Amino acid sequence: MPALTANPSDALQGDCRPPGDKSISHRALMLGAVCVGETDIAGLLEGEDVLATAAAMRALGAEVERGSDGLWRVRGRGIGGLAEPDDVLDMGNSGTGARLLLGLLASHPVTAVLTGDASLRGRPMARVVDPLTAAGASFVTRAGGRLPITVQGARAAMPLDYRLPVASAQVKSAVLLAGLNAPGQTRVIEPTATRDHTERMLGHFGAELAIEAGDAGEPVICLTGQPELTACSLRVPADPSSAAFPLVAALLLPGSKVRLAGVGINPCRIGLIDTLREMGADIRFENVRETSGEPVADIVAVAGELRGIEVPAERAPSMIDEYPVLAMAAAVAEGRSVMRGLGELRVKESDRLAVVAEGLRICGVAVEEEPDTLIVEGCGGRPPGGGNKAIPTHLDHRIAMSFLVLGLASERPVSIDDSQPIETSFPGFVSLLRGLGADIVAA
C-alpha cells in the first residue's frame, strides 16, 4: 500500500494528455466482442479496470490483443456468439465493467460467475439485476444483490420497455446491451439524460437506434435487437473525469497554465467544467472536433480566484465522479459551496460523501455532510493541510487523487494512505502531474 505525499507547490505549466476515457474503453471492448470482424481501438485506457474487462472478453471467446503499435484489436464473435467462460470473471474494482457485462450476458444462453475486489463486492448490483431478470435472465447473488453473482443468460431473451427509476448510465447501458440479442425493440425511458456513450458507440458500429421524446418530454432510447454490428476503427478520447485532476490543480495554483490534449467534451460529461466556470474559472476549449462519434477538444486551464456557489442537484448525472475533486476546489475558493443531489456518491467505490467530508476535516476545512448534500466553507486561499495524519482513501482512486491535488494547494503537505487504487483509472497520474511541476513524493 504505497503512501504518497503532495507538498505545497508552485505554478503548474505545460501540455499533457490524460489517459483514455474509462467509460468508452469498457464499451469499446464489449461491443467489439459482439461485432463481426476486427475492431481497432486507439487510445484505450490501460488501467486495471479496463484490463479486467479485456480479460473477461477473452474468457468469453473474443480475441483481444494489444499490438506493438499500441493499438488494441478485438476480433468479435457477432451478436449472440459469446461463449461460456471456463472460470470466474474477475472484474477487479470496476462497477461499470461488472454492470455492463451483466447486461451483455443476460441475453446470451451461457452461465457465468462475476466477482471483484473487496470494494466492488460491497457495491449494489440489484439496480441492474432487477430489470435484467425481466428480460429472461436469472441471477444468484449475495445478500443485498452483491457480488459474487452467478448469471444464467436467457435462452430466448425478451426485449424490455424500461423506465429508469433513477438517473444511471450504467443501468441504461446494461438494458441496451441485453437488448442487442433480443428480438424486437428495447426501449429505455430516462427521467434525466445521462452520459450517452453507449448510444453513440452503438450507432458508430451500425446499430439501428433512435432517440425519441416520451409522453412527458423525457428521452426514450429505442434499440432494434439482433443487428449485425460491423467492426470499425475507434479512437478513445482522453477521459474528462481523469482530466479533472490536473485541470483543478492548475486552477488552484497561482500562475498556472495547463493544456490538456484531446479530452472528451460530451455534453453529458462536462458538468464539472460548467460548475468551475460559474465559480470564476478560466477554462477554454480549443481545436474542437469529433472523434469516433464523440466531441473532443484541447482544454486550457488558467489559474485564478474561485468563489463558492450552489451546485444544483440536477447537474449531478453530468459530473457524479467529479464531486470529490470539486470539493477540493471549493475548499480553496472564497465563500461557501453547497453541492446537492449527491446520494449516488454513497454507493461508489467508497461512501464518497462521507470520505470527502472526513478528509477535508483532517485538512482543516469546515464541512457539513447531509444525506445527499455536501457544504464546504472555502478558505479563500490555501487550506491548512493534512498535518500528521494521512487521508484514508478507502480503496477509492478518486479520493486518493483528489486529496493529492488539495495537498498541492495547501499550506502543509497532505498525505494519502494508499495510492495503489489510482492504477485502476489513471496509470501514470503521479508522473503526469510531476511533469507539470507538482511536488508529489513517497510518504
321 is catalytic: yes
Q: Which CATH number does the domain 4-20+237-442 belong to among 3.30.1360.200, 3.40.228.10, 3.65.10.10, 1.20.1070.10? A: 3.65.10.10
pLDDT above 90 coverage of the chain, percent: 92
Reading phi first (left if > 0) and then psi (alpha if -120 to 50, else beta), residue 101 is in alpha
| Architecture field, domain 22-235 | Alpha-beta prism (3.65)
Residue 167's pLDDT is 83
Residue 137 binned pLDDT confidence (cut-offs 50, 70, 90)? very high
Residue 87's pLDDT is 97
- For residues 67 and 48, give the distance between their C-alpha atoms in angstroms, rounded to a whole number: 18
Q: Is the model's pLDDT at 1 over the cut of 70?
A: no
What residue has cell string 451500425? Answer: 206
Residue 387's pLDDT is 78
**Do 257 and 286 form a contact (C-beta atoms < 8 A)?**
no
The alpha carbon dihedral of 253, 356, 118, 4 has a sign of: positive
Q: Exposed (0-12), middle (13-18) or buried (19+): which is 322, by Cβ within 10 Å? A: buried
DSSP string, 227-247: ---B--EEEPPBPHHHHHHHH
Q: Share the mean pLDDT of the chain.
A: 96
* Mean pLDDT on 13-31: 97
* Mean pLDDT on 99-106: 98
For residue 263, the SS3 value is: strand
pLDDT tens string 270-284? 999 999 999 999 999
pLDDT above 70 coverage of the chain, percent: 100
pLDDT tens string 423-440? 989 999 999 999 999 999
Q: Is the model's pLDDT at 441 over the cut of 90?
A: yes
Residue 443's pLDDT is 83
Sorted by where each begins, the domain ranges of the chain are: 4-20+237-442, 22-235
Domains 4-20+237-442 and 22-235 share a fold: yes
H helix and E strand count, the chain: 13, 23
Residue 124's pLDDT is 87
pLDDT tens string 38-71? 999 999 999 999 999 999 999 999 999 999 999 9
Among candidate residues 21, 49, 117, 321, the one labeled active-site is 321
- For residues 44 and 47, give the distance between their C-alpha atoms in angstroms, rounded to a whole number: 9
- Grid coordinates representing 39 are 475492431
Model pTM?
Answer: 0.94
- For residues 384 and 368, give the distance between their C-alpha atoms in angstroms, rounded to a whole number: 18
* Mean pLDDT on 227-256: 97
